[in-house]
């Protein structure tokens, strides 16, 4: 399964691994909605992600927007290749998403 969720010490850790496309979108949407509804912080780990489809980028953008609306952020860990892929897909900025306190993607 390319998406796992774990709760620990007030943080909801969501790991995305392997190729993420439209087939995993419903599961990702559900997990993101649940995490955004909780009182805990969110950490999104994309270090094991492979190819990421536009549907996944749209869900991450929407989650970042919702987090920004709520006045929170989603901490994100991603290799440079993933950040580059986000920029290449046209996602220059993700409101509400942060990478160690800095806007992501860089």
pLDDT 10s digits, 42-85 = 899 999 998 888 899 889 888 888 888 887 778 888 888 887 87
Question: H or E segment at 12?
Answer: strand 11-20
Is-contact 14 5, C-beta < 8 A?
yes
Q: Is the pLDDT of residue 102 over 80?
A: no
Q: Rg of the Cα trace of the chain? A: 12
**Average pLDDT of the chain to the nearest whole number:** 81
Residue range 15-31: mean pLDDT, rounded: 92
DSSP state of 68: H
Q: Is the pLDDT of residue 101 over 50?
A: no
For the chain, give every domain's residue range: 3-103
Is-contact 98 91, C-beta < 8 A?
no
- Let me know if domain 3-103 sits in CATH 2.60.40.1220: no
| Overall pTM surpassing 0.75 (yes/no) | yes
**Nearest residue to 104 (alpha-carbon basis) of 58, 41, 60, 56:** 60
Burial class (CB in 10 A: 0-12, 13-18, 19+), 90: exposed
Q: Where are the beta strands (DSSP E) in 21-104?
A: 41-52, 74-77, 97-99, 102-103
């Amino acid at each position: 399964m390319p998406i796992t969720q774990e709760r620990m010490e007030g943080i909801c850790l969501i790991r995305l691994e392997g190729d993420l496309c439209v087939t995993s979108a419903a599961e990702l949407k559900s997990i993101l909605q649940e995490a955004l509804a909780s009182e805990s912080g969110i950490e999104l780990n994309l270090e094991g992600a492979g190819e990421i489809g536009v549907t996944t980028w749209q869900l991450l953008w929407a989650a970042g927007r919702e987090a920004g609306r709520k006045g929170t952020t989603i901490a994100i860990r991603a290799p440079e290749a993933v950040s580059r892929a986000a920029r290449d897909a046209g996602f220059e900025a993700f409101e509400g998403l942060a990478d160690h306190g800095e806007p992501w993607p860089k």
